Amino acid sequence: MRKLIKGLRDFQTSYFSQHQELFEQLAHGQKPRVLFIACSDSRVDPNLITQAQVGELFVVRNAGNIIPPYGAANGGEGAAIEYAIHALGIEQIIVCGHSHCGAMKGLLKLNELEEEMPLVCDWLKHAEATRRLIKENYSDRQGEELLELAIAENVLTQIENLRTYPVVRSKLYQDKLSLHAWIYHIETGEVFAYDPVHHAYVPPQSQFTVYMEDDATPEVHFPGARWLPPEQSERIYRGSAAREVDRRFSLP
């Protein structure tokens, strides 16, 4: 506690005094550019990872960066999403999972949590789609590899859950909203973003590097090795392609 109090003094005498004009502007209202949905894990700091300034991110955090499907829970996640889009006009949403996620470890051993941490167990049941997907598609995996797969799949599941919210669906239909799936690696500081065209997790900056050859179709170049094994990329490809067909042919 003493360290936190010292930090308060340092903030007021150093950072705040150097950015007083910014805070005076923020006192009149907020205009964040991105809704950032992250895990409550103390090792994950959205502003630090992205080097965003105060006021640039509207942040929702909970165990496992989970967004319950619309109507499945009365928690603050749905209200925050609705407020961010409708009141603040946010047009970008990032769901960011991370390596060594304790919530995903718990999800893989859900029955063991019920007695010791019943509230955690109930919350993680909102990620049942992830648990079932992992159980039925990756029964031959275990340990850290299985955990990495669960983390990656869970982020994609939460993106799908976001689509169930009326305000999200409406803005997506109007092409006024973009959804992004990220994975943050604590041990390396790297971030990987899911690319819906190539159905793989890649460095996010590579998605903006486009090479043109005469009149050929633009090709996205991904420097460096892709993350996750080819088997999962294939499964994600099949699942994402099917979901895209469903989205395009479903009623608005």
Q: Round the average pLDDT of the chain to a whole number and report it.
A: 84
Region 27-33 average pLDDT: 94
**Per-residue pLDDT tens digits for 39-63:** 999 999 999 999 999 999 999 999 9
CATH of 32-249, one of 3.40.1050.10, 3.40.50.10360, 3.40.50.300, 1.25.40.10: 3.40.1050.10
Arithmetic mean of pLDDT, 204-230: 45
Confidence of residue 215 (pLDDT cuts 50, 70, 90): very low
In order of 106, 121, 183, the CA distances from 109 in angstroms are 5, 10, 21
Instruction: For the chain, give every domain's residue range.
Output: 32-249
pLDDT value, residue 234: 56
